[in-house]
Structure 1
């Protein structure tokens, strides 16, 4: 369904919105929206056009807890993998997966927001 995300800007926007909607739903349940910045990483050129490469498809930062999440969709991935990186803004969790992993990626994002 979302397999053409790299060539179809409409599909790409749907994917971005899917993650943003899931994120907003989760943080709204805990009434801690003010702690977060999403998207955290810039994903557009100066003219506003999207990079469209899904790196990241979604990002967020919790300044209070000093943590960041970056979700990357890669067309060659069919499993989820994670990496961690120390940054000046906190510990960044980088999650890789493919379009076939969307439910798992959304679940990972949900769990990330609930972790201290």
Structure 2
């Protein structure tokens, strides 16, 4: 369904929205919703055109806990992998996967939001 995300702007926007909707659903049950900024990283050029490269397809930050998640979709990935790094904005979790891993990528948002 989302296989043409790199060549079809409508598919790309739908994919971004899929992650935004999933994240909003995840945090809607929490009492600390105001701590989150999503998307956190800017994914457009100055003229408003989206980068469209899915790096990241979604990002969020919890300002109080100083943690960030970045979801990157790579067309060559068929498995989920995770990397971590300290940034000036907080501790970042970077989750990589392919289109075939959408359920796992979305599940990583829930796992991240539940971490202290």
TM tier, shorter chain?
Answer: over 0.9
1:94 aligns with 2:91: no
Structure 1 stretches lacking a partner, 5+ long = none
> What are the superposed Cα offsets for residues 40-90 of structure 1, whole Å, 9 maximum, x if unpaired?
100001111100000000000001011000000000000000000101111
Distance 1:51 1:31 in 2: 33
TM-score (norm 2): 0.98
TM-score by length of 1: 0.98
Distance 1:33 1:47 in 2: 30
State the shift of 1:10 in Å. Answer: 0.4
**Which residue of structure 2 aligns with residue 60 of structure 1?**
60
Note the 1:18-57 alignment, pairs <5 A. Answer: 18-57=18-57
* Runs of 4+ more than 4 Å apart: none
Structure 2 residue runs of 5 or longer lacking an equivalent are none
Shift of residue 33 of structure 1? 1.4
RMSD after superposition: 0.6
> Could you tell me which residue of structure 2 aligns to residue 73 of structure 1?
73
Aligned-pair distance for 1:31?
2.7
Q: Which residue in the other structure is 1:7 paired with?
A: 7
Distance 1:32 1:89 in 2: 19
Size of the alignment, in residue pairs?
A: 116
